[in-house]
Amino acid sequence: MGGIKKKDLKTALRKLSKIKTWQLLIIFVLLLFIEATLLRFDHIEMTNLKADVTAADEAGDDNAINEALTKLQAFARTHTIVNVVEKNGESYVTFGTGPVYLEKQYTRKATEALAAAEAQAGTDANPNGNVFAKAMDVCKPLAITYGWAWNSQGYLDCMTGEIAKYPTSERIEDTYVASLPSTALFRYDFASPIWTPTLSGFVAIICLILAAILIIRFFSWAFLRLALVFIKN
């Protein structure tokens, strides 16, 4: 290997050995534990903020819902949130809050649309009579049997299905269906950046630097050991 001598390689190996790898390894493992703990704390806080959104939805307070959503979105934007979500029966890791559904708010808005459509239908001339009254005659006994609330999704689906049975009420049916709000308007999913300038973010950088040092040390040590095998003097 040209002018490189075996004793020079031994000297380099000894100098490299003065920095104890096991010490770096212990620090690296401790920092990984700290990073995992910090990410866990952020995930718990995100879960609590999602619970606040659900509680506001249950209470039916639109102002409280908007305030809770704003806090959740602000937290997601300024923290790295590692989350496991399920979609189509499969779980995968993502950065963000995961889906948040405002089920109660949707039910309230859909019920208001149903009431407005029923009121409009009562003023429309139809050869089948008041199709909403006929649909209710079918759906109310089912609601009692299955325990549906008058504003539940099961009751709304039943009403839609019964109205569809009257061909001459196509315009009314279309009006009724079009009046129902899209469920997409009541679903939120806030993304989180992969890195943020928080304590967990800086610890993550230190972990990456230590990992790089450990990898470089390993390959340097392996190269010097291999060189000693082939150099005789």
Residue 157's pLDDT is: 82
Return d(Cα 71, Cα 37) in angstroms, integer: 22
pLDDT for 119: 65
Task: Kindly state whether residues 109 and 211 are assigned to the same domain.
Answer: no
Residues 92, 110, single domain; the answer is: no
3-class DSSP state of 121: helix
Residue 4 has pLDDT above 50, yes or no: yes
Range of 158's domain? 103-186
Q: What percent of the chain has pLDDT over 90?
A: 36
Residue 177 or 109, more confident: 109
Q: Is 211 part of any domain?
A: yes
Residues with Cβ < 8 Å from 98, sequence gap 6 or more?
Answer: 83, 85, 189
Domains identified in the chain, total number: 2
Same domain, 114 and 167: yes
Average pLDDT, integer, range 43-57: 96
User: 68 or 106: whose pLDDT is higher?
Assistant: 68
In this prediction, residue 37 carries a pLDDT of: 96
Predicted TM-score of the model (pTM): 0.66
| Angle of CA points 143, 146, 149, to nearest 5° | 45
Q: How confident is the model at residue 73 (pLDDT cuts 50, 70, 90)?
A: very high
Distance between CA atoms of residues 172 and 16, nearest Å: 83
**Which pLDDT score, from 0 to 100, does residue 13 have?**
57
Same domain assignment for residues 14 and 92: yes
Report the pLDDT averaged over residues 24-39: 93
Highest mean pLDDT among 64-68, 90-94, 165-169: 64-68
Shared domain for 13 and 82, answered yes or no, is yes
Same domain, 82 and 46: yes
DSSP string spanning 24-37? Answer: HHHHHHHHHHHHHH
Asked if residue 117 has pLDDT above 90, the reply is: no
Shared-domain flag, residues 197 and 213? yes
Burial of 69 (0-12, 13-18, 19+ CB in 10 A): buried
Q: What is the pLDDT of residues 130-183, one digit of tens each?
A: 666 677 788 878 888 887 766 677 877 887 788 777 655 444 445 555 466 777
Q: What is the mean pLDDT of residues 75-93?
A: 87
